[in-house]
Chains A and B, each alone.
Chain A
């Protein structure tokens, strides 16, 4: 009987014992961690970064910050530091050093080159809103708009298509990075554009233009009185032999501005012309400029790879809802020979982040698509290579303090889009991006959904109820 109690006690002790630092042989090799978290920068308020050590050996990680240390053994193949331990380390330092030790023999341990996880004092908006959908083509199944608490791993649904008779939903965007006022589209049975105030969504009924165009890519005016939309006729075709799988192109597109209170649509020839495809509108943070992309309207079926979009802007007078007549070209597709898409301006108005692809306007299906950063004060681009990969980098948005960006990238497997965070300092210097951490490090390896249109939110949104 006594022996049995001894066994119970021994089992309990071994289950509770913490890993200890091993006397390991140093190897001149980077730690094989996945996802790549070596030398990334994270906000102090982000949930703990978790990773797996991909060397098929029992491993442990030693996290050190100033005079504090935490040793974490692998659990189900991953190094999952506890949130409290992470907070304690992150609170005390601007960098956490991580040393990975792996056991390659009975009692022989090796230690890889250490790496750092830099902790930025610039906080990040605590919520991220995105659509989860398969990276498919013409059909869809289950999808929804979700919000993730970046300070924990919690995710909740704002709207799922099980509540909208299975219809497609897209292009959600919130005013001022605040979930109180959100706009989105529904397709199929409950088709329309909806604006949700504190979760109560109503379909808008634009008029003054007959027939009412289908509204697609939206952008709020900072006053909340207007929303700029593009209206696009979109087609897609499958490549038989191309580095990209499919080509999505517009056969026509124009821009309209919707006045929320009067529900009227306005436009003018500078943003609505048969000679050009105008798309992807966005307002400057001061509301005085409307930025958009514009390409010569070609026969896209014959010359799909010659359609290249310039970045342009026109003045906008919010008091009189007047659109300027002169178009400034910020990025000239004719001289650059490439296509500029998705302009997004930092809240302080200084930095313009946009996507550049070889041609076309649907950069998520372009493996060569990369992010570029332009200093609007100097008109010069600043290096953004650190953000990019051989796979597509596409949709992006700014945090409300302008110190963080979130962008979509397919770098993990070339198909499924994942949200990455990167820090931008006052001089436009960008940090190495980190994928939004999940409670299990292998989550993205198994997830069959893409993270679509990630946008920061300063507050938690309430669940959307459609009226």
Chain B
């Protein structure tokens, strides 16, 4: 009888411990979820997990491959940012438990109370705190952090978040202005807002120097928005190449541009990759249905972008942009971002 009671009380203690562990994982997730949003979301645009034997073998062979694969696996299976927060919370809790057990044993050996719960709480808080500190040190650095956040919002077509994120103070940085002006153009506010900006030249619409693939990706977004499909494709391809060929966000843009041009075979190649990614499979499957002309022309987005392709061939460039935009508008008069950028460029000329 006594033994049964002892077992029951042990069971209760273990149940309480297990509940505490689960709770601490949940608390860790809740603490990290909002905080990791921008930085993790930014990273997830450029890499993802592919259920593909060639990719798995290739990644495994690289140095640090096992860790990278594990991170990508968790982050993608638990869906993007959520996954990373769960992974960090789980890792912190596991590590804290292990360390608390080791310290508890050591204290028992020297004849002292192990204080297991206290040790665990200290390690757990230290772990979560370290993650916060690391993320703050690497991400919350003014322009870079703002750019990352904006790129995530642009990736979600969340134009109001881009505008709201800037607040009342207009940035004096070309990169941020490029993002902001894209959001203004998409929401029909560019001409009026452009007049209020401290920096007003062509670079506040399109940066001319492209030192990183992320900037090329941003330019691809701008050109896609205004209907310059060949330039959108060019910058997406070059950014993707620089980022190791398999950025899901850039593969999606390459799928879109190739579908718009009717280059279905190569679009299908990129779709095949995206279909092997759990996080992007449904997007890819939706777009697989667009691999024929009738479906493209009926699609509200891609059909409109296809109508933006000039009837007469030309070599588009930043220099010829007003002329190219006029052509796009003559073909698709209701293509708002093209009209917005054209007005802004005309304002610059008047200046």
Contacts and interface: CB of A to CB of B under 8 A. Distances in A.
A241 B311 contact: yes
Given A415-B266, A446-B273, A242 B313 contact: yes
A95 to B, nearest CB: 31
Interface string A407-432: 00000111110000000000000000
B237 A241 contact: no
Contacts of A142: 244
Interface in B112-151: none
Interface residues of A, number: 28
Given A240-B324, A413-B268, A415-B266, A137 B237 contact: yes
B245 interface: yes
B54 A413 contact: no
Given A445-B269, A446-B54, A137 B230 contact: no
Given A134-B241, A448-B245, A241 B54 contact: no
A141 B266 contact: no
B234 interface: yes
Contacts of A233: none
B316 A238 contact: yes
Given A137-B238, A239-B230, A440 B315 contact: no
Nearest to A242: B313
Contacts of A134: 237, 241, 245
Interface in A104-137: 134, 136-137
A141 B244 contact: yes
Interface in A171-215: none
Interface in A136-150: 136-142
B315 A240 contact: yes
A443 interface: yes
Interface string A318-336: 0000000000000000000
B269 A241 contact: no
A247 interface: yes
A416 B103 CA distance: 58
A225 interface: no
A445 B54 CA distance: 11
A227 B226 CA distance: 49
A432 to B, nearest CB: 20
Contact of A413 (B231, B266, B310): B266
A138 B53 CA distance: 31
Contacts of B52: 446
A138 B238 contact: yes
Nearest to B267: A413
A245 interface: yes
A238 B313 contact: no
**Interface class of chain B by DSSP:** helix
Interface string A381-418: 00000000000000000000000000000001111100
6 contacts: A240-B229, A240-B314, A241-B311, A412-B265, A416-B269, A446-B273
A237 interface: yes
B241 A139 contact: yes
In order of increasing CB-CB distance, the 8 nearest A-B pairs are: A237-B315, A448-B245, A413-B265, A241-B313, A415-B266, A413-B266, A134-B241, A238-B230
Contact of B272 (A76, A136, A141, A446): A446
B263 interface: yes
B215 to A, nearest CB: 12
Contacts of B97: none
B49 to A, nearest CB: 15
A241 B309 contact: yes
Nearest to A244: B313
A239 to B, nearest CB: 6
Most buried by B among A76, A240, A443, A448: A240
A245 B310 CA distance: 14
Interface in B66-117: none
Interface string A360-379: 00000000000000000000
Contact of B263 (A137, A239, A414, A446): A414
B312 interface: yes
Given A140-B241, A413-B269, 4 more contacts: A137-B238, A141-B244, A239-B230, A445-B272
Contacts of B229: 240
A350 B282 CA distance: 56
A320 B305 CA distance: 62
Contacts of A241: 309-314
Nearest to B265: A413
B320 to A, nearest CB: 10
